[in-house]
Amino acid sequence: MFYYIDFASQNQPRNSRISGRNSRKVGFRQAKAMVINMTAQKRILGVDLGDARTGLAVSDALGFLAGGIGYIKSGHMPKIAEEILAAAKEYDVGLIVIGNPINMNGTLGPRAEKIGYFVELLGGMTDIPIVKFDERLSTAAAHRILNETNIRSGKRKTVIDTLSAQIILQNYLDAQKHKQEI
């Protein structure tokens, strides 16, 4: 017996005896291995490095949704890196995505240089791959969401960095899905 694995519907395998244009005919062992591989992905950690706080978010195991997990009070960069790596270990992370603050005209400013330094520092402490991802307007989007949900001053400070990290990570996940569809 053969199975047809359909990759058209958001990379979710579907057993079928009808093959579509995005399917491949495979044997049972290969189909089983493909399903296990697709569902056993490691999570992705999103980071929004800030001056006062560093927001953290993590993806679901399938890489579809990002969810905020909190923030780290910023201070000395090696300490922040250690706490990020502790979160990466806790959530079994296979990739770290750090927001890269590119200017609206596409140039790199002093904040982007700081991120570059931090990525080098973090990369020297772990074997987990690290990706810098364009975070333009993520904090503005987070402020807009908080305004629309009527979250005001006191609680806003504790939520904004986590929400920004979540937006950065969700944008990264969406960009990866878009690349797979092309």
Assign residue 128 the CATH number of its domain: 3.30.420.140
- Strand, coil or helix: what is 2? coil
What is the tens place of the pLDDT at every residue in 143-155? 777 777 766 666 7
**15 and 56 in a common domain:** no
**50 and 9 in a common domain:** no
Residue whose structure tokens are 């603050």: 101
Is 162's pLDDT higher than 50? yes
For 26-30, 93-97, 136-140, which range has the lowest pLDDT when averaged over its residues? 26-30
**35 and 69 in a common domain:** no
**153 and 118 in a common domain:** yes
**105 and 56 in a common domain:** yes
Name the range with the highest mean pLDDT among 5-19, 49-63, 134-148: 49-63
Name the domain count of the chain: 2
Task: Give φ, ψ of 46 to 5 degrees.
Answer: -100, 140
Range of the domain at 28: 3-39
Residue 45: partners with Cβ closer than 8 Å, 6 or more residues away: 56, 57, 58, 59, 84, 87, 88, 91, 93, 95, 96, 97, 169
**11/45: higher pLDDT:** 45
**24 and 53 in a common domain:** no
Q: Using a cut of 0.85, tell me whether the model's pTM lies above it.
A: no
Task: Give φ, ψ of 22 to 5 degrees.
Answer: -105, 20
What is the tens place of the pLDDT at every residue in 59-107? 999 889 999 999 999 788 999 999 999 999 999 999 999 999 887 888 8
Hey, what are 157's tokens? 């400070």
A 10 A CB-CB count for 160 gives: 22
For 42-51, 107-116, 150-159, which range has the lowest pLDDT when averaged over its residues? 150-159
**13 and 71 in a common domain:** no
**48 and 32 in a common domain:** no
**106 and 27 in a common domain:** no
**28 and 47 in a common domain:** no
**74 and 13 in a common domain:** no
HSE toward the beta carbon, residue 27, CA cutoff 13 A: 2
**24 and 79 in a common domain:** no
Q: Please tell me the predicted confidence (pLDDT) of residue 51.
A: 86
